[in-house]
Every structure is written in C-alpha cells, then in structure tokens.
Amino acid sequence: MIINKRAKTLTHQLFSLRQRGKRIGLVPTMGALHAGHLALIEAAKNAADITVGSIFVNPAQFNNPDDFRHYPVTLEKDIEALLAAGCDVLFLPAVDEIYPPGYQKKQYALGRLENILEGRYRPGHFQGVCQAVDRLLEIVQPDQLYLGQKDYQQCMIVSELLKLTGRTTVDLRIMPTVREPDGLAMSSRNLRLNEIQRQKAVALFDALRFIKKNWPKQPAALLKEAAREELERKGFAVDYVEIADAQTLETVNGTEKPAVALVAASLDNVRLIDNLLLN
C-alpha cells in the first residue's frame, strides 16, 4: 500500500494509472476504522482496479469543537487494517492539503436537504462535508465513490454534490450499514462510549426496529413519539426520530412510497445516528 500525504503527487500518480486504463475507487473516511469502513474498501477492491482510501478528519464538518477535539484517532491500527484489507493507496492529507492557503470556501446550493434532520442539528455540517468531498474528488478523480448507508442523508447530499459539480460520470455506490452483533451500527464514535453507554446504545437500533415492525399498522406520529419516549426513558437526549420518504427525506404519513426511519440521539455527549429502510 502506498501512503501519500500530498494532494499533487497523488493526483499525478493516479493520472498515469488512469491513462493505463485503471479504474479508481475512492473510499473517504475520517479514520478510527471499523468493519463498516472495511466493507467499503472490500466493495471497492471487488469493482475497481485501484482502491484509494482516505483518512481526513475534516474540521469544516464539525459544528461542535468538542466533538472535533474528541474525535477518535487510531492511525496505526487503521494503516494495519487497510493493509490487511488490500487497500492500494492511503491518502492521508493534512488540513492544508485539502484547504491550501488561498482556498476559497465554496457554498453549495443543497436546498432544503441541507437544513433538515442532521442539518438542523448540525448547522454548516453538510457544507463542510461537501467542501472536503469536493476536494477529494478533485484530487483523486475516482470512477467510483463508496459511501455507507449509515449516513443516509450524507449519501443524498453527496449525490447532489456530484450533480452540482457536473461529476455525472462518478459512479456513487452506497453500501449497507454494518452492525455489531447486537445490532448497534458500527461507528467511530462508539469508541467514545463507556461500557454502560455501549450497552444502552443498542436502543437506537431497537427504536428503528420497533418502527419497522409497527409501521404502517400504527400511525407514523404515534410510532415516532413512542420511540422517542423509550429512548428518553433510557437516558438519551433525542434530536429527532423521523419517518421520511426514502427519496426526498420529507416526512411521510402514508405508505405509498418507500420510507426510511432515521434517528439521532446522544448519550451524555456522544451523539449517534442510525436509520432503517421500512419497505
């Protein structure tokens, strides 16, 4: 595996590989890698000739400085895991490789998707995601881009970004959420949970399963309220429990369209998200 910290040399190396007909798959991450990330690497390995994994804890997407400061970093383990997974290139940029001196922050016209759900509770988050992903796309110029369904709204935002920036040939591949044996969605932030919090955290997935089991037999509003109450009873501070159109993320009541249940809640100051397709 080649570890590259420089944007320019990486672009150059990948350019010559592309000229030789190699197809490039990009897996962007913020590190603290787990099986969810590695499933994306594996998917890229299976479909692309060159798999590029990136690790960049993007300051622009953290609306909460404490969250940024406490974001787990496990670089040595990450490198070992990527090696074992057969990743070809690790892009490991410092902040000024992604946002070099003179970098002009772009504003992306993301529409209502930017300000609902995650966007409502994390103002500026999706602009920050787009800034980093836009730069990564510019540097790597991938044929395929691999994202996890775990971050459902982020997938929709990045799909929008590809359209907004005219990168219509990039093949966006969204991979299913990888879970712990008890159902908790794997997340780098799980590393911040103590043992008791870790046991409680599965309640997030339980809430989604409860909704899936009872929807549409019971009205959406009632299910959302019941799920919220149960999470609060278990000690979560709930940002949202939503049942939304799987294509637009608009709140749904009827059953005519595919729907997704989404939840965001914090245990003390560790904020977790999850989602589940309903039909």
Binding-site ranges for ligand AMP (CB under 6 A): 29-30, 36-37, 39-40, 147-148, 150-151, 175, 177-178, 185-188
Active site residue 37: yes
Q: Which is nearer to ligand AMP, 26 or 223 (CB)?
A: 26
In degrees and rounded to multiples of 5, residue 29 shows phi and psi of: -145, 170
Q: Which is nearer to ligand AMP, 184 or 278 (CB)?
A: 184
- Rounded to a whole number of angstroms, the minimum distance from the CB of residue 28 to ligand AMP is 6
Task: Name the H helices within 111-235.
Answer: 118-121, 125-140, 152-164, 195-201, 203-214, 220-233
Contact in structure between 98 and 60 (CB atoms under 8 Å): no
The residues, any chain, with a CB within 8 Å of residue 263's CB and separated by 6 or more, are: 204, 207, 208, 227, 231, 238, 240, 241, 242, 273, 274, 275
Residue nearest to ligand AMP as judged by C-beta position: 148
Task: Name the H helices within the chain.
Answer: 7-19, 35-47, 65-69, 75-85, 95-98, 118-121, 125-140, 152-164, 195-201, 203-214, 220-233
- Rounded to a whole number of angstroms, the minimum distance from the CB of residue 241 to ligand AMP is 19
The residues, any chain, with a CB within 8 Å of residue 268's CB and separated by 6 or more, are: 197
127: DSSP letter: H
- Rounded to a whole number of angstroms, the minimum distance from the CB of residue 264 to ligand AMP is 14
Q: Which is nearer to ligand AMP, 201 or 220 (CB)?
A: 201
Q: Which of 12, 37, 70, 125 is catalytic?
A: 37
The residues, any chain, with a CB within 8 Å of residue 99's CB and separated by 6 or more, are: 60, 131, 135
Cα(first)–Cα(last) distance of the chain, in Å?
41
Q: Which is nearer to ligand AMP, 65 or 102 (CB)?
A: 65
- Rounded to a whole number of angstroms, the minimum distance from the CB of residue 133 to ligand AMP is 10
Q: Which is nearer to ligand AMP, 10 or 41 (CB)?
A: 41
- Rounded to a whole number of angstroms, the minimum distance from the CB of residue 114 to ligand AMP is 18
Which are the catalytic amino acids? Answer: 37
